[in-house]
A and B are shown apart, each in its own frame.
Chain A
Amino acid sequence: MAALAPLRFFDCNTFIGTPTHRLPGGAVSAEGLARALDRAGIARALVWHIAQLDGHPLRGNELLDREIAPFRERLVPCWSLLPAQTGELGDLDEWFARATAAGVKAMRAWPRQCLFLLRRIVVGDVLERMIDRRLPLIYSVSRGGGWDELYDLLADFPGLTVIISDVGCWGPDRFFRPPIERYTRTYLEISDYFVPGGIEAFVGRYGADRLLFGTGFPAQHHGGMMLMLAHAEITHEAKQAIAAGNCARLLAEVRT
């Protein structure tokens, strides 16, 4: 058997902070995450803070910035957004300028938890600014909203870069394939996608450029998706694109 060529990993789905409800494997700080990445052999990670979901998006953004400051070489911040109508974001241009200054390369939204809709009349002014900046929205199906909401969002904002994340492990192909086919700036994060032959089938149909490696750490271990991707029956170039290249490319496209 040929030796496995080295792979560089960029985890686009990981969080820090202490959840309201205890995780079986425990919470991790930014420092703990850095140690875990070292152990696993993962170079970089796009990180959010659980307080963005469990507490308040903007408080969580502040905690994230403070926590990861010593690790900015490898931990890239992902903020969470809100609608503008309540005034919590303040002046939108100033809010996005602060995000840029903080090095934010992606946003998340929690419409169900925060009780708003990802529709044009609600978040049009926010998401249009993201489209202008090519700033990706990471849409967590299991944490943030359902498939119906995702379909509505994409219909309203076909030019938005959307990374569909946390798709659930019980057979998501019939849900994610239609938007992948219809909207060219839609991507799939694979931490929950461990159906045998799934990566191979996806790459065979859509190419390797639409899949992004993620682990769900610390809710999930790093090694499951790492081993599965390392031995997927696709080319090394395809594996490397999924493991890190696609994420790095999307984040490099973000306009500051």
Chain B
Amino acid sequence: MISDTPLARAFWQDGRCRECPVIDMHGHLGDFYGIWFPRGAVEAMVQTMDQAGVRLLCLCPHASLFMPDVGNAALVEAVRQYPDGLRGYLAMNPNYPEQMARDLARYAECADALVGLKVLPDYHRQALDDAAYAPAWEFADARGLLVLAHTWGGSVHNGEAQVRAVAGRYPRVKLLMGHSLHGAWDAAIAIAKEFPNVYLELTAVLDDRGVVEQFVAAGLSERILFGTDNPWFHPHHGIGTLLSADITDEDRHNILHRNAEKLLAGVGVYLT
């Protein structure tokens, strides 16, 4: 049964837990060149969420990130189709500053669908702290928005140095380190401890046994966020991993929903 705690028993028996509604802070949507998704359409993703008791998924579609001809229209359309279960991060592609400016100017028009911005420096080949991103950071800092940034250990675009630079420069931004500087776990812990506006996000982290335990042991239980890259990874895999991890059910509640609830309340999203 994975382990013997109340949360483990509940998830094992039912696949979900009423007392532990899951908030997934890192999702995508739709087709992508490098993978075949059995459940990549928004309806199928919601089906996956229901299976695991995921109450809310914050996402940014692949098309918004990789197809400027489609852009953020795909995001707003999907979220408004499932307003109870989805919110979005507006994709920022610094290779098209005019499109970034246009999308930011229209943020208020679709604020009902949004919690902040998404940046993907390794893929857009611009450093996280490059001036090209400055309009996005300034916009988010002025409004206290969430920014989900792809981060990876050793990267010259979104590695330790770049995260540290923007975390200090934009203290009102709630900076979600997507993948928690994957592989550079000590650096991720150090940055999260140094900057109170930085959060550790767990997509692709949970398939490395022992890492979330290190984060919790460092006193960061209240700064860790659950994420799956849905439709890449099934939330049951991440939840099951957390149930196996050598942490407490209180830590699991923090990670699976409490920390996200506090962050989302800060941008006007309240879950009933």
Contact = CB atoms under 8 A, between A and B. Distances in A.
A224 B206 contact: yes
Interface string A189-205: 00010111110110000
A173 B208 contact: no
A195 B231 contact: yes
Contacts of A24: 185, 208-211, 214
A224 B51 contact: no
Given A201-B38, A227-B11, A196 B45 contact: yes
20 contacts: A3-B13, A24-B210, A25-B209, A25-B213, A39-B4, A40-B244, A169-B204, A171-B35, A195-B35, A217-B209, A221-B240, A223-B244, A224-B236, A224-B237, A224-B241, A227-B240, A228-B240, A230-B15, A231-B236, A233-B51
A101 interface: no
A173 B35 contact: yes
A154 B132 CA distance: 49
A195 B236 CA distance: 10
A222 B231 contact: no
Interface in A1-49: 1, 3-4, 23-26, 39-41
A91 B144 CA distance: 71
Interface string B4-43: 1000100111110000000000000000001111110000
Contacts of B239: 227
A122 interface: no
A224 B39 contact: no
Contacts of A39: 3-4
Nearest to A41: B1
Interface in A149-174: 169-171, 173-174
Given A25-B213, A221-B244, A231-B15, A195 B233 contact: yes
Contact of B236 (A25, A174, A216, A227): A227
A169 B38 contact: no
Interface residues of A, number: 39
B210 A23 contact: yes
Contact of B230 (A196, A221, A222): A196
B233 A222 contact: no
Interface centre among B3, B204, B230 (most CB of A within 10 A): B3
Given A197-B231, A217-B209, A227-B240, 17 more contacts: A24-B210, A169-B204, A170-B34, A195-B37, A196-B38, A197-B38, A197-B48, A220-B207, A221-B244, A223-B8, A223-B243, A224-B207, A224-B236, A224-B240, A225-B240, A227-B239, A231-B51
Contacts, number: 132
B234 A196 contact: yes
Nearest to B232: A195
B271 interface: no
Nearest to B246: A25
A94 B211 CA distance: 44
A97 interface: no
Contacts of A197: 37-39, 44, 48, 231
A217 B244 CA distance: 11
Contacts of A64: none
A226 B236 CA distance: 9
Interface of B: 1-4, 8, 11-15, 34-39, 44-45, 48, 51-52, 185, 204, 206-211, 213-214, 230-234, 236-245
A198 B233 CA distance: 10
B12 A230 contact: yes
Q: Which of B34, B48, B234 has the most CB of A within 10 A?
A: B234
A196 B231 contact: yes
A1 B4 CA distance: 21
A77 interface: no
A139 to B, nearest CB: 20
Contacts of B234: 194-196, 198, 228
B37 A40 contact: no
A201 B40 CA distance: 13
Contacts of B209: 23-25, 217-221
A28 to B, nearest CB: 10
A194 B36 contact: no
A40 B240 CA distance: 11
Nearest to B245: A221
Interface in A200-217: 200-201, 216-217
Nearest to B3: A39
Interface in A112-143: none
Contacts of A217: 209
Nearest to B39: A197
Contacts of A195: 35, 37-38, 231-234
